[in-house]
Amino acid sequence: MTHLADSAILVLGASGGLGREIARLLADSGARLILSGRSQAKLDALSVPGTAIAADLTDPAAITALIAEAVRVNGRLDGIVNASGVVAFGPALEVTDETLSELFTLNTLAPIRLLRAARAALTESAEQGREPFVLTLSGVVSESPTANLAAYSASKAAVAAFGQAAGRELRRSGIRLLDARPGHTETDLSTHPIAGTAPRLPTGYRPAAVAERIVAAIVTGERDLPSTSFHV
């Protein structure tokens, strides 16, 4: 059982539809939050208590600095929620190098670099008797790669595979990795692709309901949330 009250948690993608809902639930449970995203203005406009820090996750140095600042603000780091990411639509063999680079930099490399930068702080949290965690959202495409989302599916499948392997290693340090793979959720992600245009999509899950399931999994100590875990 993970106790959220007084936990120091970094939420990435906090100004997005799902990240905002998760952050709100964590704050309601008494967590002390660092809220991060690309736009300081959007972070400052959030009605969620916490310290807002904009960061460019394409920059490895900015990731290291963000983790250091999160630890400085709260004196420790007990958890990370990574709800950031980008999407691109289009035929598999028409994806450009620029799109590929941005997809894998933000969806795959950034989560890996974040975990690497945070390892020492999370290990210290475990040594102090807390139950540190890192949540990733690889989504249903990491289970079922989707036509016209080939590169996006690959970037998410890669981070899911990394998390599975790294999670086994980090158990010895008391750090829990949790990957969530909900289906299409009604956020603005698909309306702001970095390439291509979203097809007409069926009505997705409500962000608030997906967030509730994810936060429940954080609290109860789950390590995997496949797509079948979401019926919302």
Q: Are 123 and 174 in contact (CB under 8 A)?
A: yes
- Please state, in angstroms and rounded to a whole number, the distance separating the CA atoms of residues 23 and 34: 9
Q: Are 83 and 134 in contact (CB under 8 A)?
A: no
Q: 3-state SS of 7-49?
A: CEEEEECCCCHHHHHHHHHHHHCCCEEEEEECCHHHHHCCCCC
Query: Residue 157: pLDDT above 80?
Result: yes
Taking residues 92-101, report their average pLDDT.
Answer: 98
Report how far apart, in Å, the C-alpha atoms of 98 and of each of 55, 84, 85, 102, 113 are.
21, 19, 16, 6, 20
User: Phi, psi at residue 76, to the nearest 5°?
Assistant: -170, 175
Average pLDDT over all residues of the chain:
96
Query: Residue 148: pLDDT above 90?
Result: yes
- On whether the 8-229 domain is CATH 3.40.50.720, my answer is yes
Residue-by-residue DSSP string for 57-68: TT-HHHHHHHHH
Query: Residue 232: pLDDT above 80?
Result: no
Taking residues 196-211, report their average pLDDT.
Answer: 92
pTM of this structure: 0.96
- Tell me, what's the pLDDT at 199? 87
Q: What are the boundaries of each domain within the chain? A: 8-229
- Tell me, what's the pLDDT at 36? 98
Q: Are 176 and 5 in contact (CB under 8 A)?
A: no
